[in-house]
Structure 1
Amino acid sequence: MKKKFLKVFTGVLLALFTVSMSVSFAAPPSGFDRVNNNIPHGNMTTITYYSKTTGADRKATIYTPPGYSTDKKYNVLYLLHGIGGDHTEWPNGGSPNVILDNLYAQNKLSPMIVVMPNGRAKKDDRAVGDIYSAENQAAFENFQYDLLNDLIPYIESKYPVLTNRLNRAIAGLSMGGGQSLNFGLKYMDYFAYAGGFSPAPNTYAPSKMIPNPAETAAKMKVIWVGCGEQDGLYSTAQGVHNYMTQNNVPHVWYSAPGNHDFTFWKDGLYQFSQLIFKDVDIPVTPKNAFDLIEAENYDEMSGIQTETCAEGGQNIGFIHNGDYAVYKSVDFGSGAGRFYARVASATEGGNIELRLDSLTGTLIGTCEVKGTGDWQIYTDATCKVSGVSGKHDLYLKFTGGEGYLININNFRFEPQIIPQGRPGDVNGDHSVDAIDLTLIKKHLLGIELIKDEFTALADVDGSREIDAIDFALVKQYLLGIINEFPIQQKL
């Protein structure tokens, strides 16, 4: 189906101009709303919240994106249904999770949670009886109070979302399209983005919706109005567009062949979702490099997927040569000396390049991963790292042969260990001898503890504890079986 824009105000898209220009807007590609099993998927759940506005429990459908983690922060899109629908209309007819999953896989979206509520705010909010009744019409208008006073506070108390107006958007179809324009432009202290897909006659008169065009132009980042040219409600949307054009309010006007149906509304969601939250910086909570980092908690990625891990939780997998995962704001403190990862591979494995701040950034280490015989048989892979301290974005770049390479469950770094003295010399006489072996034995038996200033030198395997392995290694050193300790190989 051929698509076209009649007008796009580039002030909306680029924040550069206040005049309009005609541009082409490509139609969604074939398959944009079909499930792709070769990409990561988000999750759809139903929640129940209590509404003081209606005095009853109400439901909403929540979409969380691929790689969702409570350690991250997200924008929120409130996505509203039509007059005969409820919180299930978008999931049942609009495939929002599929559309958004596909866009995330192409790195075209900013991180967001999508909330699909019931926009009919009354005690019995089912779409039954005369859905066009005055009571139901009033319930749709009443939703603004449920939204602001009940739903938004609930979402912000239960999900790791950002709470600034720049981090909230509202959009909807038909009746929900009218609500989105009405409430989004009325409550600009709550929303910076509003989208109406085929807005219904409940849409306020433009002069009521936008009483102060200059204020609306200054505050709103994206206003989207679109309608199918064969839609009986076309004049409603066109009237809003004409008013904004005459009053110099930057907006997107999307006019295309189409009817009042999900074929057009899916198109609207596909286009609108790519415009919102683009100029918003999402704060990243620093990660301690020396704590265990779950591999699935990446901030960005290319090509990988998550799956259930045999060791619990999830792992990343389906990794090909050139794929990568990004972990932002990793704090390496005064320095890291070694990298450890829990890995598995049913093939010959591959390599994990550890790079700083970009895919071509400083290479601090390369970890070889060998085959383990199965995608869920995990082992430790480790390598030295050097030249890193402070906070950096960590890029795990995967290289290897054809096909799938590696699964990773989690990873961590070890601090750079710089013991003051000679490893194994636990009495400070500058030699490793039988006296040191005896002191380690007494320490392990609890007879006499090694002095604090020498404990790092007793940990000759670098495990950060003194144990029987250290005793055995010192004994092997004295017998001439080994000529250096594992800790010396890590330095």
Structure 2
Amino acid sequence: MNVKLYVGISLLSAAHVLGTASAQENINPDKEQRKISPEVSADNRVTFRVFAPNAKQVQLVGNWMERVGPIGGKQLMIKDGKYWSYTSDPMASDLFLYNIDIDGAVVNDPLNVYQIRDVSNTFNYFLTGGEQASLYQVQDVPHGSLARRWYNSATLNMNRRLTIYTPPGYEQSKQRYPVLYLLHGMGGDEEAWPSLGRVSQILDNLIAQGKARPMIVVMPNGHVSNAAAPGESAKGQYPIEFATPDVGTGKMEESFQDVIAFVENNYRVKKEKSSRAIAGLSMGGSHTLFISSYLPNTFDYIGLFSAAFRMNQHASSPVFTNFDQNLLKQRDQGYKLYWIGMGKEDFLYKTGEEYRKKLDAINMKYTYRESEGGHTWANWRLYLTEFVPQLFNN
């Protein structure tokens, strides 16, 4: 999605560049390996350290650095004895991803056990201090639950997996809850929003602060040619595609009622339009705008985060061919919030601008939020924290 740091290294080359490596079951490792990396200071300066005594050059590769081509920027680390280190300037309040480049081999930080997969790459991550990042931290508040569930899609004739968040107290309660359907971008799957998007932490914290209504959040897999995330289905361990063949075909939109039916048949949810919301990022934003117009009397709250528009001009699905008429029906049948967020540097900025002109031309009301930055998880997490408090309040 927003970060593509290309990783190519064998286990043998990793052992060579690091000089020494502790075995997994080494219960008495070299004390030198116990240094902290990354180490976040009170002013959000961050120090990174790596043990690489035989390396000639070590660089930090971070998603907050200025981009160089398709990858993140790099910052030279300084050698001090057997370690290399780098200390950043004060950083924003957020969650960040990084790798270490050791003589051209990009590896994860051996001193940081916290990792996230984004599409086909894995990264170390860390959180800085401050108000925004505090929403992404696990706080001492009541916690909801995350579950991976399988559902049958009759439209697609297959069983598929989704991730579902239930709010604190759901298991003990008898009440019914409103639902947010939250869609990922191209290259993602049902694990993207829970991991990179910090959904459970954000919802737990906003609910605890009284800023959001308790709700269920449903995160399906938007690539209908895959039943589940990589390695989690009978398809096995396969090369991960950023753009699967189903992208832009309309099959996700056409089959979305199967997701709604599963949720409403298996969870205590409110089933009226005023208790349903749908939002998505990038490709998921495209899914959101087409699903919400294709089912024009289904959702009262719609959120487009850095939304793409039509991704396949040749697809003949009715969600595309009848879009203008569907959009007018959606306008006429009404809704409570149509929320659009876009970064000033997003490569889809012009696409978003053209879509807003389309809405303006038919007098379809919306709320627009323009932020700094581009097509990034930093923006999508931010948008979620701003969108969720506006849901189900009327």
TM-score range, shorter chain: 0.5 to 0.7
1:137 aligned residue? 247
Q: 1:62 aligns with which of 164, 177, 183?
A: 164
Does residue 146 (structure 1) correspond to residue 255 (structure 2)? The answer is yes
Q: Deviations over 1:224-268 (max 9, x none)?
A: 111111111111112222222343221111111111111000011
For 2:260 and 2:297, how far apart are their aligned partners in 1? 13
Q: How far has the Cα of 1:204 moved from its partner?
A: 9.4
What are the superposed Cα offsets for residues 163-204 of structure 1, whole Å, 9 maximum, x if unpaired?
111111110111001111111122122111111100124369
After superposition, the Cα gap between the structure-2 partners of 1:251 and 1:201, relative to the gap in structure 1 and judged at 3 Å, is closer
- Specify the alignment match of 2:224 in structure 1: 121
- Do the aligned partners of 1:65 and 1:112 also contact (CA within 8 Å) in 2? yes
Q: Residue 38 of structure 1 is aligned with which of 133, 140, 143?
A: 140
Output the CA distance in 2 between the equivalents of 1:136 and 1:203: 10
Separation in structure 2 between the aligned mates of residue 221 and residue 242 of structure 1, nearest angstrom: 20
Residue 379 of structure 2 corresponds to residue 264 of structure 1: yes
Q: Where in structure 2 are the equivalents of 1:43-442 lying within 5 Å?
A: 43-68=145-170, 69-122=172-225, 128=239, 130-132=241-243, 135-138=245-248, 141-148=250-257, 150-202=258-310, 209-211=323-325, 213=328, 216=331, 218-279=333-394
How far did residue 122 of structure 1 move? Answer: 2.9
List alignment gaps of at least 5 residues for structure 2.
1-91, 94-129, 231-238, 314-319
* Counterpart Cα distance in 2 of 1:214 and 1:154: 26
User: What secondary structure sits across from 1:189 in the alignment?
Assistant: coil
1:10-33 deviations in whole A, cap 9, x for unaligned? xxxxxxxxxxxxxxxxxx933343
For 2:321 and 2:383, how far apart are their aligned partners in 1? 24
Report SS of the residue matched to 2:203.
Answer: helix
Q: Deviations over 1:399-444 (max 9, x none)?
A: xxxxxxxxxxxxxxxxxxxxxxxxxxxxxxxxxxxxxxxxxxxxxx
Q: Distance in 1 between matches of 2:381 and 2:167?
A: 18
Matched residue SS, 2:155: coil
Gaps (5+ residues) in structure 1? 3-27, 280-491
Contact 1:46 1:61 in 2 (8 A): yes
- What do residues 30-83 of structure 1 show as CA deviations (whole Å, max 9, x unaligned)? 334332432111111111112212222111111111122440110011000111
1:252/1:217 CA distance change after superposition, 3 Å: farther
Instruction: Give the Cα separation in 1 of the matches to 2:347 and 2:132.
Output: 27
The one-character-per-residue Cα deviations of 1:103-159 (angstroms, maximum 9, x if unpaired) are 1011111221000000112365656554435x22155x21123210x2111111110
* CA shift in 2, pair 1:277/1:63, >3 Å: same
Q: Identify the residue that residue 485 of structure 1 maps to in structure 2.
A: none
Could you say which structure has the larger radius of gyration? 1
In 1: Cα distance, 2:271 partner to 2:224 partner: 23
The one-letter amino acid paired with 1:38 is D
Query: Contact 2:165–2:217 (CA<8 Å) still a contact in 1?
Result: yes
Paired residues in the alignment total 251
Give me the whole-angstrom Cα distance separating, in 2, the residues matched to 1:196 and 1:107. Answer: 24
TM-score by length of 2: 0.59
Change (3 A) 1:241 1:161: same
The CA distance in 2 between the partners of 1:167 and 1:41, in whole Å, is 22
Task: Give distance in 2, aligned partners of 1:147 and 1:174.
Answer: 17
Alpha-carbon distance in structure 1 between the residues aligned to 2:362 and 2:240: 41
Q: 1:214 to 1:163 in 2, by over 3 A?
A: closer
3-state SS of paired residue (2:255): helix
Structure 1 counterpart SS, 2:355: helix
Q: Secondary structure at the match of 1:30?
A: helix
Change (3 A) 1:90 1:123: closer
Residues 296 and 329, structure 2, Cα contact 8 Å, conserved in 1: no
Amino acid at match of 2:223: R
CA pair 104-169 structure 1, distance change in 2 beyond 3 A? same
CA RMSD of aligned residues (A): 2.6
Aligned residues of 1:178 and 1:204 also touching (Cα < 8 A):
no
Amino acid at match of 2:267: Y
**Cα-to-partner distance string for 1:309-344 (whole Å, 9 max, x where unaligned):** xxxxxxxxxxxxxxxxxxxxxxxxxxxxxxxxxxxx
Q: Distance in 1 between matches of 2:321 and 2:252?
A: 21
1:52 and 1:215 map into 2 onto residues whose CA distance is 25
Say if 1:227 and 1:237, in contact at 8 Å, map to a contact too: yes
Paired AA for residue 181 in structure 1: L
* Cα distance change, pair 208–266 in 1 and its aligned pair in 2 (3 A): farther
Amino acid at match of 2:220: P
Asked if structure 2 preserves the Cα contact closer than 8 Å seen for 1:82 and 1:174, the reply is yes
Determine what percentage of the aligned residue pairs are the same residue: 33
